[in-house]
């Protein structure tokens, strides 16, 4: 077996994650780059190359403008550094809605060109047929219900869902349709605790919450949010670092050293040797 094949054999799989339901919390974070994936691979069960990359790294206002090429490039970067965690790549807006066949082609392209183990798509009854089509043809699918960021143009904003009975029934229907169609796992985003717990109890696959309480089988956050890279974070994010503050201090110190002539110093300078 080649080293590459051996690596693949050691990775956490969709089957492993399903077996954790109700037994062991599943630790997930987003990853978009090689150095970050290298650090996170040791401790995370699942790295999601989320289409949030468009907002986090590319300055887009939402995820609608994210392309297949962006997802593939970042998926490849994450796969280069990870060995242990399961890697899932988001299908961008417009890549899976038109037809089951085109969704299959795009999903297979993502899996082949990145080496990732699964794709994620924002799901509900309207794409259940597509999920079934993909999973029956060997494409593992992670669903995503509740707040679905790719619907921002219809919804007008990123809004928590399921706060009244009608909306809660709608989110339950999304989860049911997604799981019955064959998804191995679902992200549940931006819903109240009671609904997250109800969904988690209803479905046989793990639920991964983001802004969806401890009622889920696992948790995911956008890594840069929890590292404190931005000056604002949503209520459901806990900041584990102050990257923004640390970077600002480091950049200011560097600028001061360059301006004062303190950098580069003798330690950072090459000198010619005596022999020419
Ligand atoms: O794109 C993303 O990062 C996501 C997570 C927030 C679940 O979908």
Tens digit of pLDDT for each residue in 158-170? 788 878 899 999 9
Please give the C-alpha separations between residue 128 and each of 9, 76, 167, 168, 184, in angstroms, as whole numbers.
30, 28, 19, 19, 13
C-alpha span between 77 and 44 (Å, rounded): 17
Residue 80 Ramachandran class (φ > 0 left, ψ -120 to 50 alpha, else beta): alpha
Tally the domains of the chain: 2
Q: Are residues 140 and 224 in the same domain?
A: yes
Q: Which residues are catalytic?
A: 189
Q: Are residues 96 and 218 in the same domain?
A: yes
| Average model confidence (pLDDT) across the chain | 95
Q: Is 224 in the pocket of ligand 1 (CB under 6 A)?
A: no
Token pair 């796992």 is found at 185
Q: pLDDT tens, 1-52?
A: 565 565 666 899 999 999 999 999 999 999 999 999 999 999 999 999 999 9
Neighbours of 170 (CB within 10 A): 16
Of 15-24, 69-78, 153-162, 177-186, which gets the smallest average pLDDT?
153-162
Q: Are residues 144 and 258 in the same domain?
A: no
Q: State in Å: Cα 88 to ligand 1 middle.
A: 11
Mean pLDDT (whole number) for 132-140: 98
Domain span holding position 134? 3-241
Confidence check: pLDDT of 77 > 70: yes
Q: Is 52 in the pocket of ligand 1 (CB under 6 A)?
A: yes
Q: pLDDT tens, 81-105?
A: 999 999 999 999 999 999 999 999 9
Ligand 1 closest atom vs CA 189: 7
Q: Are residues 259 and 224 in the same domain?
A: no
Q: Are residues 258 and 222 in the same domain?
A: no
Q: What is the pLDDT of residue 6?
A: 58
Q: Are residues 169 and 269 in the same domain?
A: no
Q: State in Å: Cα 175 to ligand 1 middle.
A: 16
Question: C-alpha dihedral over 129, 68, 141, 235, to 10 degrees?
Answer: -110
Q: What is the pLDDT of residue 162?
A: 79
- Atom 4, ligand 1: which residue's CA is nearest? 50
Q: Is 187 in the pocket of ligand 1 (CB under 6 A)?
A: yes
């Amino acid at each position: 077996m080649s080293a590459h094949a051996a690596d693949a054999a050691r990775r956490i799989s969709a089957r492993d994650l399903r077996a954790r339901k109700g037994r062991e919390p599943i630790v997930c974070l987003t990853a978009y780059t090689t150095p970050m994936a290298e650090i996170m691979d040791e401790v995370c069960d699942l790295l999601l190359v989320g289409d949030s990359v468009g907002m986090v790294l590319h300055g887009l206002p939402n995820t609608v403008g994210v392309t297949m090429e962006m997802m593939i490039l970042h998926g490849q970067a994450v796969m280069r550094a990870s060995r242990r965690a399961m890697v899932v790549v988001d299908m961008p807006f417009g890549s899976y809605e038109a037809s089951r066949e085109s969704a299959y082609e795009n999903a297979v392209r993502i899996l082949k060109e990145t080496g990732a183990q699964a794709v994620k798509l924002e799901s509900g009854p309207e794409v259940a047929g597509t999920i079934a089509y993909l999973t029956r043809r060997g494409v593992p699918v992670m669903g995503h219900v509740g707040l679905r960021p790719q619907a921002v143009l219809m919804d007008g904003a990123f809004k928590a869902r399921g706060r009244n009975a009608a909306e809660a029934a709608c989110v339950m229907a999304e989860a049911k349709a997604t799981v019955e169609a064959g998804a191995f796992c679902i992200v549940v985003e931006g819903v109240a605790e009671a609904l997250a717990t109800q969904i988690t109890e209803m479905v046989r696959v793990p639920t991964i919450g983001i802004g969806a309480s401890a009622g889920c089988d696992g948790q995911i956050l956008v890594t840069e949010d929890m590292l404190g890279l931005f000056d604002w974070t949503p209520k459901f994010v806990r900041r584990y670092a102050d990257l923004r503050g640390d970077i600002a201090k480091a950049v200011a110190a560097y600028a001061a050293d360059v301006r004062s002539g303190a950098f580069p110093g003798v330690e950072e300078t090459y000198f010619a040797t005596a022999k020419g």
